[in-house]
Structure 1
Amino acid sequence: MLVDFSKDENEDRGNWTGRLDFVLSCLGCAVGLGNVWRFPYLCYKNGGAVFLIPYVIMLALVGIPIFFLELSVGQFTSSSPLTCWGMAPVFKGIGYAMIAVSSLVSIYYNIIISWAIFYFFASFTSDLPWQHCDREYATPYCRTFLNGSITEERCTDMGLLANTTIGVCFNGSTPVNIFNTTLAALQSPPIKAVLPSEEYLNGYVLGKYFSEGIHDLGPVRWQMALCLLLAWTIVFFSLVKGVKSSGKVVYFTALFPYVVLVILFVRGLLLEGHYQGIEFYIMKPDFSKLKSATVWKDAAVQIFFSLSAAWGGLITLSSYNRFHNNCLRDALIVSISNCLTSFFAGFVIFSFLGFLAFKMDTTVDKVVDGGIGLAFVVYPDAVARMPGVPTLWALLFFLMLITLGLDSEFALVETISTSIMDQWVPLRKKKSLVILCLCVVFYLLGLTMCTNGGAFLLQLMDSYAAGWNVLLIAIAECIVIAYVYGLFCGLFRFKEDIRIMIGDRPFYFAAITWDRVWPWWAFCWYGVTPLLVAAILVFSWVDYKPTTYGLYTYPAWAEAIGWLMTLTVVVALIAPGIIIALRAYFNGKPIRELFLPNRCWGPALPKHRKLMSSYLRTDQFVVDPHSEDAVLEAGPVKVSDSDQ
């Protein structure tokens, strides 16, 4: 089925100007910072290469089904998360919950991008600033200070007593050999030699050492505030013309990381010790790990969040597709490419970790870290030790982090702005103003994380803003498609919706009809996917532990704020349905109608709505509705007896 890209099909909302615009935007949305630092760490933590077994299984049963479901809903309705759930109006809260998640994540996600921007500009020097420690911001335990013989002054700096005769510091009557990491770790509190790159991050970049915790935010750090301003400026100008501008920017931001990863991989293979890291990554599988429920949970969560499912971004991006775009093909291409990217990034990261372990005369497990530590501590330290031109590798790496993060940030902000303009149509003429207002508001809120204590707040948001509440959204999506829209309107209604979009062949090169592949998607949506997500959700509750940041434990009031962020999404998911039901009840409308598609449901354009006549009879089509009142007033679509 040929798709014409020479002009916009939907002149009111606009469309992607090319097929690759959408694919690369989806790929950029899915492939983010977590692919570089989280997946390799999970492989290390969960048995090396054996982690790929649960990872691939969860990709097939959870990741791809939800990915395809969201692309299908967005493309079929040409609507954003707030207006696409007309198939069951009482579940409109799914859209509000997605907007809540996207708003919370976009605030702190751009903070991490601003860190990468800071490092990028700091790399324009032949002497990388994190190669050595500065006493103005570093602790006495920095490796720079611990090189050489022990002196009384250095022991005193660490709060210890010195015996320079035997070269040992004493903690009370207990000797502490600061060059013996085993003995130092047994002290209370443990003594650890800190990498200069870690001191640079926590002391100079974040100012974390100058804060006692989340209760002590301190002043705004102007360097970080400027980097954050630059990050939001890039987002604004990339989105100011909607998909017409962002669709072109992604040709660079989505493809450039792959160029850098290939360059860094080749460079990593030329470093001493690289084999030690790669061997640790994939050649020492621990099959006993498969007996652990935690491994399966980690695989499912990583698949779920690396694909950016249930955040609303996929629905938003696909809503700009032309109606007959092959969204099944795109779903398979993007989701599989995303996972292969994670796997390949692991080779890059661990080749450098092997080099770092070789230089530090230790093992890989002593230098591996997850999360922020992998991107902003371990890799900068490895770069500083590299022969040749460390500055070049630093610039390439941090530019890659910036582009990886920006793609995901584009999708988050686009989701929010598109939803606002779909809900209140007159605002489409003021698209630039809407995006500007969002960027300004989110920038001002983000300034709280540009303070000395901002890292503590960011860690709290990262733990609670998009946690198990996103799993609830995914379960709700499957329930609506399978057990509300499916049962109330005919078991195969959604199957026919997809058929009129993509035709009978999901692949141009394969003689496989849509009827033959449908049972697999029905098997997932109607059973295995929601059950697996529910199991992950329950396990997350059972395995819940209060959030920590290193050795820092959050106070009870901070935990309460975190739970409020989580509950905000839950309330957004549930409250709209309750309000809609109450309004219908007091207006004398049957509650059952709220579980039936309203007349707004279906393709946005009349010419595509006519295609529904083969399996659905309607009295009237309401094109492009944008208010809750219109939904309630329009009433449900009449369905045929056979569909009932």
Structure 2
Amino acid sequence: MAASAVGIITLIALVLAGPLAWAVAAYAQSRRKAADGAAEAGASEGQVDGQATEREEMSGIAYTLSLLGYAIGIGNLWRFPYLVGKWGGGAFVIAYLVCLFLVAIPAYLMEMVMGQYTRKSTVGCFKMIHPRWDGLAYGQALILFLVLAYYNVLLAYAIIYIAGSLVDPLPWAADSKNYFNVEVLNGYDDYIGKGLGPVQWKLALALLVVWLIVFVSLAFGKKILTKVTWVTVVGPVIMLVVLLIRSVTLDGAADGIEFYIGKFDSEVLGDLDMWASACSQILFSLSPGFGTAITMSSYTRPKENVFKTCMFVAVCNSAFSLVGGFAIFSIVGNITFRLNATGGVLDEATGVMALTTVAEQARAGTGLAFIAIADGMRAFGSGTNAMSVLFFSTLLTLGLDSTFCWAETLVCYVEDYCLVKGRTKPAKWKIVGGMCAVMYLMGLLYCTRMGIELLDIVDHYCITYYLLLGVALEAFMFTFDFGWRRLVVHLKLATLGNLRTPLGQDVVPSFFWRLAIHFTMPAWCLFLFFYIFSTDAAEPYGGYPGWMQGIGWSCLAALLAVTPLGFARSLKLGSGSTLPPLEQDEAALAAALGIKSTLPPLGQNEESAL
């Protein structure tokens, strides 16, 4: 093997593109600030609904980019297309879109409003709404801890593949499956009598690189994070466009695209497992239930229109998944074409070569990115190394954005705890450094020989279960202790006088949002929670050994045990909500609108009452 000049030049170009992108963004932002003047800053600085605040504030662009980066993650580019292929093509897309509009977007809007209204991270926000919900907040903090411990291991895989892309020929050129399973994972052939095994040094070193990137990006405040986010959000979009343009011209790409969008298996619509996959995919992607949207929204400007931001981020997130599917299935179609051109693949049952299909190649699961697509990089001829660097850099930057927001949420918990307890807040670099060190050590468990199996267990039993339960409980919290009326009044009052919403943002259509938040969101999530629970109780998940199943169930039990603690504590202390009286917000809105009487009924535009 020799160093690839093309691969090295591509990587250097991607690294240098960051400062250039930030410079352009900084120039555009300075022009925008000059046009806006100081009026908006004067209205928002240091005050939130009459209350003093010591929190940092993010500009509207920084806030939107952070949420985009948080939502668009590594799963958009490999897990979503895989699930489309597994569950009936267009049938899965329909289920995905139904869950998007009836579950994920309402939950996302709910969290963004609560975060902006309370100006607190998840724990402080839930306690302010009512102390009985602080157990739910601690459960979400615990789930963040668990997901951060394993999520960056996926990015470590991408680091290893980026390094491999700098040599020619590609180290996986002979056998991509063997490279992933042996050279990267060094996993066991079976589970009998096996434990986690030793830590693999390649993975441990790559994981260290990932956490060093996270530390540098977060340790020195939101200004540095904003600069990094410009690169890690805009970069993947540009790289996806380049990948899409090149991949759709490959031999066999049309067959892959036809499989992706051309089939519709209507019978799959009756499969509850498919609906559970669709709901868990959009919840993990948009990520309500993690508490991060609440925390990020607590930093945004008080007059930011979070309703429009919610719609924009949700649409862009799903659009990235859908468009990315064209690139991924074009490559899968090409892989199928090349395999069949050389006689097909070995049929293990008969021992003879047989033609393969796009459907068979698309069922690689995690391997769709790290086996099948890596193999597909060979189809780009002289641009093989460049496209390989491009693709795996895209995976890395997509994952980093989500990590930044999750890690920032945990840091915010520590900072808010210090403020509540009246303690001197440690320097941010110390908090970030301590968190990164702990997370790295936890992540080493997933760098062992059975690390990927452990990752799958924790992801299933903790993330899938608790996201469904957490979103349902948040809907109950909102219904009984925050209230639809408060959301409507806050959105209108917060956006009143903005250039595009001089009379404030109306929540339309009101009937749809109320139905989704009060009924479809909690009902559907609870139904899927108990359905998955009954399925796993009847048949152990994934065929993993009993001790691994025990780890999964134990982690879930810990999450479920933490959640009701707030209820017990609030009953004992007799504590209640510390939200401002709703009448106070209504009076402020009425005064701002020049209305002497009470507000008009919900859903009626207040413009008519002027």
Q: TM-score, normalised on structure 1?
A: 0.77
Partner of 1:540: 532
Partner of 1:157: none
In the alignment, is residue 280 of structure 1 matched against residue 321 of structure 2? no
Conserved? CA contact 1:242–1:414, under 8 Å = no
Conserved? CA contact 2:491–2:505, under 8 Å = no
Q: What CA deviation, in whole Å up to 9, does each residue of 1:478-532 have, x standing for no partner? A: 111112333xxxx623332333223398x92799962654333222222222112
In the alignment, is residue 498 of structure 1 matched against residue 498 of structure 2? no
Partner of 1:344: 323
The 10-residue stretch of structure 1 (514-523 or 404-413) with the greater mean CA deviation from structure 2: 514-523
Cα distance 1:515–1:355, how it changes in 2: closer, same or farther (>3 A)?
A: closer
In the alignment, is residue 523 of structure 1 matched against residue 523 of structure 2? no
Conserved? CA contact 2:492–2:504, under 8 Å = no
Paired with 1:602 and 1:391, the residues of 2 have a C-alpha distance of 59
In the alignment, is residue 614 of structure 1 matched against residue 607 of structure 2? no
Report the Cα offset of residue 434 of structure 1.
Answer: 0.9
Paired with 1:515 and 1:220, the residues of 2 have a C-alpha distance of 52
Report the Cα offset of residue 74 of structure 1.
Answer: 0.8
Partner of 2:283: 304
Report the Cα offset of residue 273 of structure 1.
Answer: 0.6
Partner of 1:41: 82
**1:319-330 equivalences in 2 (<5 Å):** 319-330=298-309
Which amino acid is the alignment partner of residue 29 of structure 1?
Y
Paired with 2:286 and 2:256, the residues of 1 have a C-alpha distance of 27
Greater share of helix: 2
Report the Cα offset of residue 286 of structure 1.
Answer: 2.0
Paired with 1:447 and 1:418, the residues of 2 have a C-alpha distance of 24
Q: What CA deviation, in whole Å up to 9, does each residue of 1:393-445 have, x standing for no partner? A: 11001100100110011111111110111122235342211111010011111
Paired with 1:206 and 1:92, the residues of 2 have a C-alpha distance of 39
Report the Cα offset of residue 242 of structure 1.
Answer: 3.4
Report the Cα offset of residue 92 of structure 1.
Answer: 1.2
Structure 2 counterpart SS, 1:428: coil
In the alignment, is residue 469 of structure 1 matched against residue 466 of structure 2? yes
Cα distance 1:438–1:579, how it changes in 2: closer, same or farther (>3 A)?
A: same
**1:387-466 equivalences in 2 (<5 Å):** 387-425=381-419, 426=423, 428-466=425-463
In the alignment, is residue 373 of structure 1 matched against residue 367 of structure 2? yes
Partner of 1:9: 45
Partner of 1:21: 62
Paired with 2:436 and 2:145, the residues of 1 have a C-alpha distance of 11
Which amino acid is the alignment partner of residue 534 of structure 1?
L
The 10-residue stretch of structure 1 (414-423 or 210-219) with the greater mean CA deviation from structure 2: 210-219
Partner of 2:557: 567
Paired with 1:198 and 1:365, the residues of 2 have a C-alpha distance of 18
The 10-residue stretch of structure 1 (67-76 or 515-524) with the greater mean CA deviation from structure 2: 515-524
Q: What CA deviation, in whole Å up to 9, does each residue of 1:134-154 have, x standing for no partner? A: xxxxxxxxxxxxxxxxxxxxx
Paired with 1:342 and 1:458, the residues of 2 have a C-alpha distance of 23
Partner of 2:95: 54
Partner of 1:119: 161
Larger Rg: 1
Conserved? CA contact 1:211–1:453, under 8 Å = no
Report the Cα offset of residue 267 of structure 1.
Answer: 0.7
Conserved? CA contact 1:101–1:569, under 8 Å = yes
Paired with 2:467 and 2:319, the residues of 1 have a C-alpha distance of 24
Conserved? CA contact 2:55–2:299, under 8 Å = yes
Structure 1 counterpart SS, 2:167: coil
Cα distance 1:53–1:548, how it changes in 2: closer, same or farther (>3 A)?
A: closer
Report the Cα offset of residue 223 of structure 1.
Answer: 1.9
Report the Cα offset of residue 615 of structure 1.
Answer: 7.8
Paired with 2:249 and 2:430, the residues of 1 have a C-alpha distance of 50
* The one of 566, 571, 594 aligned to 1:576: 566
Which amino acid is the alignment partner of residue 319 of structure 2?
L
Cα distance 1:97–1:214, how it changes in 2: closer, same or farther (>3 A)?
A: farther
Structure 1 counterpart SS, 2:168: coil
Report the Cα offset of residue 119 of structure 1.
Answer: 0.9
Structure 2 counterpart SS, 1:514: coil
Cα distance 1:326–1:353, how it changes in 2: closer, same or farther (>3 A)?
A: same
Which amino acid is the alignment partner of residue 444 of structure 1?
L
Which amino acid is the alignment partner of residue 411 of structure 1?
C
Conserved? CA contact 1:311–1:470, under 8 Å = yes
Gaps of 5+ in 1: 133-195, 585-590, 617-644
Which amino acid is the alignment partner of residue 488 of structure 2?
K
Structure 2 counterpart SS, 1:108: helix
Which amino acid is the alignment partner of residue 269 of structure 2?
L
Partner of 1:355: 334
* The one of 363, 378, 382 aligned to 2:376: 382
**1:86-97 equivalences in 2 (<5 Å):** 86-97=128-139
Paired with 1:106 and 1:7, the residues of 2 have a C-alpha distance of 37
Partner of 2:13: none
Which amino acid is the alignment partner of residue 597 of structure 1?
S
Paired with 1:383 and 1:562, the residues of 2 have a C-alpha distance of 36
Cα distance 1:12–1:578, how it changes in 2: closer, same or farther (>3 A)?
A: same
Partner of 1:587: none
Conserved? CA contact 2:283–2:467, under 8 Å = no
In the alignment, is residue 239 of structure 1 matched against residue 218 of structure 2? yes
Paired with 1:463 and 1:469, the residues of 2 have a C-alpha distance of 9
Q: TM-score, normalised on structure 2?
A: 0.81
Partner of 1:219: 198
Q: What CA deviation, in whole Å up to 9, does each residue of 1:88-128 have, x standing for no partner? A: 11111121111011100001001111111111111101110
RMSD: 2.8
Cα distance 1:348–1:105, how it changes in 2: closer, same or farther (>3 A)?
A: same
Conserved? CA contact 1:76–1:498, under 8 Å = no
The 10-residue stretch of structure 1 (38-47 or 225-234) with the greater mean CA deviation from structure 2: 38-47
Conserved? CA contact 2:44–2:302, under 8 Å = no
Paired with 1:53 and 1:252, the residues of 2 have a C-alpha distance of 32
Report the Cα offset of residue 566 of structure 1.
Answer: 1.2
Conserved? CA contact 1:75–1:323, under 8 Å = yes
Cα distance 1:291–1:467, how it changes in 2: closer, same or farther (>3 A)?
A: closer
Gaps of 5+ in 2: 1-35, 47-52, 341-355, 591-610
Partner of 1:200: 179
Paired with 2:81 and 2:569, the residues of 1 have a C-alpha distance of 45
Cα distance 1:512–1:316, how it changes in 2: closer, same or farther (>3 A)?
A: closer
Count matched residues.
530
Cα distance 1:431–1:225, how it changes in 2: closer, same or farther (>3 A)?
A: same
Conserved? CA contact 1:239–1:246, under 8 Å = yes
Cα distance 1:574–1:105, how it changes in 2: closer, same or farther (>3 A)?
A: same
* The one of 98, 121, 125 aligned to 2:140: 98
Structure 2 counterpart SS, 1:466: helix
Which amino acid is the alignment partner of residue 358 of structure 2?
V
Report the Cα offset of residue 579 of structure 1.
Answer: 2.8
Cα distance 1:55–1:352, how it changes in 2: closer, same or farther (>3 A)?
A: same
The 10-residue stretch of structure 1 (42-51 or 434-443) with the greater mean CA deviation from structure 2: 42-51
